Amino acid sequence: MTLDHRPFQEADAGMISTFPNSSEELFHMLPDASYPLMSSRLLEAAREGHDPTVGLLNGRIAGFVSFIEVQEKKFCSIGNLVVHPEYRRNGVAAYLVKVMVQTAMQRYAVRFVRASCFSHNKAAYTLYHKMGFRPADMGQRLGPDGDPVLMIHMHLSIRRWAESQAMDTN
């Protein structure tokens, strides 16, 4: 199993827009979009964001992620993370988060990386926590059904990340 990545291309939008299997999954990826996700809405999100990136598993498109906010030398916020249903639980999401953390460090010289997940999205919360992100704040948003949903804002210290990566290579 080989993981790789490349910049998002407009031609990728049609395939990636099929990854969310439900309005809830789409809400986790792109909260203000309507289900089913239209490729034009994904293209809009990719243009509004920064560094849209496609994850590849054995050369096949397996995931998508971008930064939804960048403040150079301060922070980048990871968003729009989604993995093809057939490729989930294969390390694609973790790989893409790692790629984005490295991009944030190298391209934007940030002090921390942010990611937000909804409290009922246990997979996302667990992934970010395992990767060193820690809860920093909470907020609320209206869910697809109109009910309030708790959003957990998490931060990853780049200094701590770099130290943990150095320890992993020793």
Phi, then psi, of 110 in degrees rounded to 5: -80, 165
Residue 169: is its pLDDT beyond 80?
Answer: no
Note if the pTM is more than 0.85: yes
Domains and CATH numbers, the chain: 3-169 (3.40.630.30)
pLDDT tens-digit readout, 31-85 = 999 999 999 999 999 999 999 999 999 999 999 999 999 999 999 999 999 999 9
Angle in degrees, 0-180, between the axes of helices 158-169 and 92-108, rounded to the nearest 10 = 120
pLDDT tens-digit readout, 73-132 = 999 999 999 999 999 999 999 999 999 999 999 999 999 999 999 999 999 999 999 999
- DSSP designation for 11: G
**Single-letter amino acid, residue 30:** L
- The string of DSSP codes covering 64-120 is EEEEEEEETTTEEEEEEEEE-GGGTTSSHHHHHHHHHHHHHHHHH--SEEEEEEETT
Q: Given pLDDT bands bounded at 50, 70 and 90, which one contains residue 166?
A: confident
Tokens of residue 159, six digits: 């200094």
